[in-house]
Structure 1
């Protein structure tokens, strides 16, 4: 499977690299129809070589480093951390929800539950899952945090806090 992916990536990389150097021709036929081609025309009534501008290449976005996990062992948990979203993640306009992924080391123990905190308030009910979805996001800065709760309802562990920034369109723009 990995070999297939590497081969596909290599083929696509070469095809994109060579297509950037291909020449483009503009042909206008007797009826005035315009056609663009990479094959030099021999019998076209009107032909001209098209000079394309340089490709618009954008640098890759830098990813934020993962926020350090709480390292002290809390009631048997060596690590309670928010894997996603990372610290200072920006939620673009149009994205209505954000997925929250929790990392626990070791895995969640029997009877323990996870409570998602959104802006310091409980979001939903405690659950045994490590994946959450926060919806109806409003513009601004928000915090996400995780609590691990024991069988008696006591908070026995707390994750790092991840800050997210929600962008929304404005009526003025």
Structure 2
């Protein structure tokens, strides 16, 4: 009996939510909205309610091979890998031999992947997930700089174009006084 009473109450509440809305203007020009018809009132038509349909989730029967096929290969994973600072053929004037290297990677690095700086053809320092590197103690002269994206196991995924820079140290030996 309680379930029947609850059902009837819910049906009445649902019916109340579907009432019509009316708009009318009184003699003083004030606009009124109501749920009861009034003389000279017009029915308001409401637009369709906005809905959302979530994207389909993968089926439970998806195999590992199908998941691997959907993921890009290592070569396709990164579309952009470039050195944005310093520019190619830049002359850097720094008595201490510091060079800041900034790297652009698109899309962002995946978990575990890191960037390795290649200085004069050899890896310099450890790979890191940070995209800004500081090279210290660079001797004057011409140098080549490149970067690589490497996996945790050390496999190279992508290599940037190598740039050429020129280190100009106007005065050698300006380091710390002894």
TM-score (norm 2): 0.52
CA 1:155–1:96: 2 relative to 1, 3 Å: same
What secondary structure, in the 3-state scheme, does the structure 2 residue paired with 1:110 have? coil
Q: Which residue in the other structure is 2:131 paired with?
A: 130
CA 1:152–1:141: 2 relative to 1, 3 Å: same
Structure 2 Cα separation of the partners of residues 140 and 154 of structure 1: 31
Give the Å deviation of 1:139: 1.1
**Rg larger in structure:** 2
Give the conservation status (yes or no) of the 8 Å contact 1:75–1:156.
no
Structure 2 Cα separation of the partners of residues 170 and 135 of structure 1: 16
Give the Å deviation of 1:160: 1.1
CA 1:93–1:152: 2 relative to 1, 3 Å: closer
Give the Å deviation of 1:78: 0.4
TM-score (norm 1): 0.53
CA 1:120–1:170: 2 relative to 1, 3 Å: same
Structure 1 segments, 4+ long, off by >3 Å, are: none
Q: Which runs of 5+ in 1 are unaligned?
A: 1-72
What secondary structure, in the 3-state scheme, does the structure 2 residue paired with 1:74 have? helix
Give the conservation status (yes or no) of the 8 Å contact 1:75–1:157.
no
Where in structure 2 are the equivalents of 1:3-152 lying within 5 Å?
Answer: 74-94=75-95, 96-152=97-153
RMSD: 1.8
What secondary structure, in the 3-state scheme, does the structure 1 residue paired with 2:154 have? coil
Q: Which residue in the other structure is 1:23 paired with?
A: none
Q: Which runs of 5+ in 2 are unaligned?
A: 1-73, 173-178
